[in-house]
Chains A and B, each alone.
Chain A
Amino acid sequence: MLELVDSTKSFKKVKAVKKLNMFIEKGEIVGLLGPNGAGKSTAISMLSSLMEPTSGDVRYCNKSILKNPAPLRKILGMVPQEIALYEDLTAIENLQFFGRLYRMKGKELQRKIDVILELIGLTDHRKDIVKKFSGGMKRRLNIGVALLHDPEVIIMDEPTVGIDPQSRNYILETVKRLNEERQMTVLYTSHYMEEVEFLCDRIYIMDKGNLIASGTKQEIKQILSAENTISIKADRWNDAFIASIESSPTIHRIKVEEKEITIVVPKEVNMFSELAKMAEQAGLELRSIDINSPTLEDVFLHLTGRALRD
């Protein structure tokens, strides 16, 4: 339905996206993951016709949109990462303005606005100035504006950044419902791995302008099928213990946090006794050692060597 074909985007000498191939089928929710600077926003801008690729193509229903983006724009809704609203206008004034940009008017527009306000839970705040909204309310209106013209495809760029858990759940449930009830196609980017795991059928992982993995959740997780992720917990760490782990040849990757160390090791290696011995020699008391099924976060760590939110 919508695809990037060998798309590269360069800014002066920097290649933000390198020969990216990506597609979204009708009715799918596709996740796009990557740390800051991975090239996600550039990819989204190309997909949404805001930016032309330096080379390659962007296609909608097998037709290039580079010369004529109108057919795509007609069925596309965009939720930018920023609050792309007029904060000095009320919720209803914002919806009216953007609705009229889509040539909606009169009773049809009014009916649509009522539906959207109900959907995003802002009916009681329709006449309030957006400036006075909480972060969560602004995010919801940001989504509402993109849904106003009943788009078939919606691109959401980190729509839950900086909001409370309640609003976040509300948004996730809304996206899920839109997909299930209206077969809306969604491209969803997020820093929150659990959001992508909850919502998405397929996932693309980008890093440094490259696509480094893609597939369904299960396919991606199978990347780690030959390895185990071990979580070690303690109240504090000491340098001797960390040095022992880092020098171990059987450990592939390591991530140290305040009270938890995550390591990735080959499945056949039994690390229990070795970890216990290292702790004893370092004079460290461990609270637990757990072997975990791989998560997308583990896959990301495996593929990029860094955490998603780094």
Chain B
Amino acid sequence: MLWQIIKKQALILLRNPVQILLLLGLPIILITILGTALSNWMDGESIEINVKVAMIEQEDEEKQVNQFISDIESGVIPETAIEMIKETAPQIAPIGILKDSVFKSEELANMIDLHEAKPSEKEELLDDSSFAAVIEVPENFTYDTLQTIMLHEDISPELRVYHNEQQEIGANIVSDILTQFQEQMTFGVFLSEKGIDLDAIQIDTNELPGEVKRINQGNPISSKDYYTIGMAVMNVLFMATAIGWISFHEKATHVFDRVIIANVSKWIYFLGILLSGMIFAFIQLLVLFSFAWIVFDVTWPDLTSFLIVSLFISISVGGLTVLLAAISYRLNSENIIDFFGSVVVSLMAFIGGSFFPIGDSSKLLQTLGDLTPNGAGMSAYLTILRGEGISEVSHHLLYILGFAISSIIIGALSFPKRGASA
């Protein structure tokens, strides 16, 4: 008997393309859109940036360094100091460091495209909007910088930087890099003035005692993981409205009266609605997660735990289904089902974190979210997906079960005694 009721509900559902679209098509579309569109934000990946920078040197750095050494040699500085300067000056030539150790460094090489240009190209480069910035090294910049660093002369050599206002982000990046470069050079001058060896203040992390621990050792959750779960737990609630609606329609068309006159216990019918909601919700979850597995590679570290969480969520959907059906029978109106489908599901999905991790912003919102069956289910799924065991989500599962049992009891109490007497 029960099987006949469930089979009939399945046939009706399968022959309703709008419902199928809502239950399976819509979440798949939403997973695809949200998972893809918000992947940068969710996955912590940076936006791909490519900044073109031009550098014009009005000097020859090597000549400047040689000139500096030559002038030092002809001066009154002791021989030992001259030897040290001769050895160090080529190493701290600023433009060389800026070009090779900064712009062409491993960290920045993918982001910065450095174009070294001749002074005659300056006007042309300034007109070229593809460059985020043009850096001009003035004459004697290297010579003046070496004098400042090594002889502590009070000179302030400056680079000229032309920013392209049309490329605000790129120009800001270049500006930040140059500021940092300048701060490091100034720090170097300071240490040199005070006679401190730069190596002495460098911290070797290898020599620190203890170990470095990662705060979260679980598997990372990608945006597609997140939205697969978010949309699944939201859209599975629509199964309750779909079956609830079919059940109310049976009342409205007096099919339910026929069932009662056939001497079928109303509790068998009630159980039929409950099991239909549960089984179809479970199938819906399996279909959605199978899609996500095939298309987005959303895989579960522990399949058994995943199935247990899905089963509990399905039981709560079954509970909601009989609750909606019973109330609509009692009120003799499908308005409650429409209201649940159009307003309550959206609200529960929002609080439950289906659209974005709302719980991250507030402990209270997290608690509220976990008080919805979808929110608790989502938390359980995410925990399982991170690689935690089923025991870690037992409190969520108990809450979901409690919600389901409460819904079933209220539904049973509201269910009409006989057919037409409702």
Residues of chain A whose beta carbon lies under 8 Å from any beta carbon of chain B: 45, 48-52, 69-70, 73-74, 76, 78, 80-86, 88-89, 93, 97-98, 100-102, 129, 145-146, 149
A50 B264 Cβ-Cβ under 8 A: no
Which residues of chain A come closer than 8 Å to B255, judged between CB atoms? Answer: 84-86
Q: List 16 A-B contacts (CB under 8 A).
A: A48-B257, A48-B261, A50-B420, A50-B421, A51-B420, A74-B263, A78-B257, A78-B261, A82-B252, A84-B257, A85-B253, A86-B255, A100-B1, A101-B1, A101-B258, A102-B262
The answer for the CA separation of A149 and B258 in the assembled complex, in Å, is 12
Q: Which of B4, B12, B260 is A50 in contact with, Cβ under 8 Å?
A: B260
B330 at the interface (CB under 8 A from A): no
The answer for the CA separation of A306 and B308 in the assembled complex, in Å, is 66
A51 B258 Cβ-Cβ under 8 A: no
The answer for the CA separation of A85 and B255 in the assembled complex, in Å, is 6
The answer for the CA separation of A51 and B261 in the assembled complex, in Å, is 11
Shortest beta-carbon distance from B2 to chain A in Å: 11
Shortest beta-carbon distance from A288 to chain B in Å: 45
| Nearest B residue (CB) for A44 | B420
| Nearest A residue (CB) for B3 | A100
Given contacts A70-B263, A93-B11, 14 further A-B contacts (CB under 8 A): A48-B261, A50-B420, A50-B421, A52-B421, A69-B263, A73-B262, A73-B263, A74-B263, A89-B15, A97-B4, A97-B8, A98-B258, A101-B259, A101-B262
Which residues of B (1-44) have their CB < 8 Å from a CB of A?
1, 4, 8, 11-12, 15-16
- Residue among B261, B264, B417, B420 having the largest count of chain A Cβ atoms under 10 Å: B261
| Nearest A residue (CB) for B7 | A97
Q: Which of A69, A83, A98 is B253 in contact with, Cβ under 8 Å?
A: A83
Q: Which of A52, A82, A86, A146 is B418 in contact with, Cβ under 8 Å?
A: A52
B12 A86 Cβ-Cβ under 8 A: yes
- Residue among A69, A84, A102, A146 having the largest count of chain B Cβ atoms under 10 Å: A84
| Nearest B residue (CB) for A157 | B254
Shortest beta-carbon distance from B403 to chain A in Å: 31
B157 at the interface (CB under 8 A from A): no
B254 A86 Cβ-Cβ under 8 A: no
Q: A51-B421, A101-B262 are in contact. Are A80 and B1 (CB under 8 A)?
A: no
Which residues of chain A come closer than 8 Å to B254, judged between CB atoms? Answer: 80-82, 84
B16 A76 Cβ-Cβ under 8 A: no
The answer for the CA separation of A102 and B4 in the assembled complex, in Å, is 12
Q: Which of B4, B258, B263, B421 is A84 in contact with, Cβ under 8 Å?
A: B258
Q: A78-B257, A84-B255 are in contact. Are A89 and B263 (CB under 8 A)?
A: no
Shortest beta-carbon distance from A12 to chain B in Å: 13
B12 A76 Cβ-Cβ under 8 A: no
Interface 1/0s, chain B 238-273, versus A by CB < 8 A? 000000000000001111011111111000000000
The answer for the CA separation of A52 and B260 in the assembled complex, in Å, is 13
Which residues of chain B come closer than 8 Å to A89, judged between CB atoms? Answer: 8, 11-12, 15
The answer for the CA separation of A101 and B250 in the assembled complex, in Å, is 15
Which residues of chain A come closer than 8 Å to B262, judged between CB atoms? Answer: 73, 98, 101-102, 149
Which residues of B (73-95) have their CB < 8 Å from a CB of A?
none
A50 B11 Cβ-Cβ under 8 A: no
B341 at the interface (CB under 8 A from A): no
B418 A88 Cβ-Cβ under 8 A: no
The answer for the CA separation of A236 and B395 in the assembled complex, in Å, is 82
Which residues of chain B come closer than 8 Å to A149, judged between CB atoms? Answer: 262
B419 at the interface (CB under 8 A from A): yes
The answer for the CA separation of A111 and B11 in the assembled complex, in Å, is 23
The answer for the CA separation of A101 and B258 in the assembled complex, in Å, is 9
B12 A88 Cβ-Cβ under 8 A: yes
The 6 A-B pairs with the shortest beta carbon distances in the complex, nearest first, are A101-B262, A50-B420, A73-B263, A80-B254, A50-B419, A84-B254
- Residue among A45, A49, A78, A101 having the largest count of chain B Cβ atoms under 10 Å: A101
The answer for the CA separation of A76 and B254 in the assembled complex, in Å, is 16
Interface 1/0s, chain B 379-422, versus A by CB < 8 A? 00000000000000000000000000000000000000111110
The answer for the CA separation of A82 and B419 in the assembled complex, in Å, is 14
Which residues of chain B come closer than 8 Å to A73, judged between CB atoms? Answer: 261-263
Q: Which of A83, A84, A88 is B11 in contact with, Cβ under 8 Å?
A: A88
The answer for the CA separation of A102 and B258 in the assembled complex, in Å, is 11
A49 B421 Cβ-Cβ under 8 A: no
Shortest beta-carbon distance from A71 to chain B in Å: 9
The answer for the CA separation of A70 and B263 in the assembled complex, in Å, is 6
